[in-house]
Structure 1
Amino acid sequence: MLGQIVAASVLILFGIQIEWLNNPFGGYFYLDYLSIPITIFWVVSFTNVVNLMDGLDGLAAGVSAIASVTIILVALQEGYYTVAVMTAALAGGIIGFIRYNFNPATIFMGDTGSMFIGYILAAISILGAVKSATTIALIVPAIALGLPIMDTAFAIIRRHLNGKPIFKPDKGHFHHRLLAMGLTQRQAVMLMYLISAGLGLSAILLTEIDGIYAVLLVSVIIACVCFCAKKIGILNDR
């Protein structure tokens, strides 16, 4: 964790940090002294959610690739070509890696690989926010990576409710639940790819709407994820 904080601090030293957010109903929220802790929290969170998703062959790589493609499309649409090129480089590396990481995997990314991907995606999303000064630049990658983010959130809640340390591994993640339902590794991974693609399309749609409609779309996405999570017993300690 300390190393991740140091890595996040490097971005801040080079001026890559979240300094303001726009209000969907008009105006801006200037973060002032909250800018540094929020930036560190954002980077550390992204770094870890991708790492925690790396539970099945090809899962973290595929979900990250889908998120990267989503960011590329939005960046091109908004004219942020530097962000698009940087993300394309990351996506190209991930897609080439999936060939050897998909079940049955012959190469594994490990903690270093998954954390690197999460860190770069976090940095790219902040860079997009710096260029556009808008919350959308942060929300798009957050929705595109909505599956691992929500999975991590549910894991923390589940462990807290069951009186277990939040950093203690368990078998309650989304992919574990899908395997318990009888899906094979490949089927579970492909289903999660499909969900991630749906979230990616939702993130792109979000850039075309604003105000109350944007808030409504995000609320519907969260509600759907929570409903599905409850159906598969994501909070159950079993």
Structure 2
Amino acid sequence: MLYGIAAAIAALLLAALLAGVLRVPGLRLGLLDRRRARPVPVVGGIAVVLATVLVAGAGEWSGVAPLGEGVGTLLGAGAGVAALGLVADVWRLRGRVLLAGTAVAALCVVPYGETGVVGGVLAAGWIAGVAGAFRALDHADGLAGTVGVVTAFGVGACAAAEVLDGVAVLLSVLAAALTGFLMHNWHPARVAFGACGSLFAGFVLASSAVLVRTGYDAGSSAGVLFALTAVVSADAVLVVLARRLAGRSVLRRGPDHLGHRLRRLGLTSRGVAVVVGAGACASVSVGVLVHGGWADATAVWWVAGGALVAVLGLVCVKGAGARAVPTARVSTQVRGNVRGSLRVRNG
């Protein structure tokens, strides 16, 4: 117990420190979020990954809080996914490449002895999908970090109920690291998550949820897993539906996510993070209650109904009047602004 508290505090402080220290090098190297019109370096994810791996790894190495064989493999696979995301932050990679790489990592952490081959493959596909959806949720200040913290606490509570101490420790460390990152990512953000951090967080959260639900029947597990990740699932469904209705490619980026549409309804950037975070808290709470047996499994249908109403309501929100600036153009403009500001400072 005491180690868990100490580890969480260490992860929070380390992530906050690293995010602040890495910001200037990120600006100078041009590691910027290409979806933003202002220079926001994507070093927050690096800070979260390093803080989580170092603190959780220290507990494993010292023997004070061993993660266990399966959890250690999960953390290693998550680090591999983070490395792939970092490559995507530096050099543009197709979403299919990121999805395929994440799926391969997921295949390495699924407990086939309990799920079977078919169930394990389906679980790996779900993990990869959630990680990709979590990356897509990183389109507004404080959004992905807030949902990540709430989800980590929820899945961690489920792990504690199953006496999976290694998973619970890992998720408490991840939640603390995400909180430290949010100190710099709350609007106006000074650092962004990037593919490195968002894929890592989504992968660890989804993989941990699968481990927690191992041994339960497939139907109830699907409901609990959906409730724990309802917000990212709703965002993904909203984007796919909106783009198909508009006759656009699903893979083409655009301002049609949850955060974008809530902003058009008049919410501020901070208001969007609070509203979406509250929705995540409600759905995750249902997932925890159903997993623990404190609520009937039919409660998940209320979560599904709420998500459906939100998606159908937001899909009717009209798009922004101004066309989005192409990605490459935004990146060039931002890099030029950064270089110009640095020249002025040096002069």
Q: TM-score range by the shorter chain?
A: 0.7 to 0.9
Deviations 1:168-216 (A, max 9, x none): 12222221121111111011111111111111211122124499x41x2
Aligned 8 A contact 1:140 1:203 in 2: yes
Question: 1: distance between equivalents of 2:310 and 2:101?
Answer: 36
Deviations 1:147-186 (A, max 9, x none): 1111101211222222211111222222112111111101
Letter in 1 for 2:253: P
User: Identity of aligned pairs, percent?
Assistant: 20
Question: 2: distance between equivalents of 1:10 and 1:172?
Answer: 29
Alignment match, 2:269: 185
Matched, 1:9 2:104: yes
Question: 2: distance between equivalents of 1:14 and 1:150?
Answer: 25
TM-score (normalizing by structure 1): 0.83
Structure 1 17/179 Cα, relative in aligned 2: closer, same or farther at 3 Å?
farther
Question: 2: distance between equivalents of 1:46 and 1:109?
Answer: 16
When the two chains are superposed, the root-mean-square deviation of aligned CA atoms in Å is 2.5
Letter in 1 for 2:309: F
Alignment match, 1:174: 258
Question: 1: distance between equivalents of 2:287 and 2:106?
Answer: 25
Alignment match, 1:56: 140
Matched, 1:88 2:172: yes
Structure 1 35/78 Cα, relative in aligned 2: closer, same or farther at 3 Å?
closer
Alignment match, 1:111: 195
Letter in 1 for 2:277: Y
Matched, 1:125 2:209: yes
Alignment match, 1:234: 315
Alignment match, 1:28: none
Aligned 8 A contact 1:103 1:185 in 2: yes
Question: 1: distance between equivalents of 2:302 and 2:207?
Answer: 27
Alignment match, 1:221: 303
Aligned 8 A contact 2:158 2:292 in 1: no
SS in 2 for 1:38: helix
- Tell me the CA shift for residue 68 of structure 1: 0.3
Question: 1: distance between equivalents of 2:316 and 2:121?
Answer: 29
Structure 1 128/205 Cα, relative in aligned 2: closer, same or farther at 3 Å?
closer
Gaps of 5+ in 2: 1-95, 320-347
Gaps of 5+ in 1: 21-31
Structure 1 154/15 Cα, relative in aligned 2: closer, same or farther at 3 Å?
closer
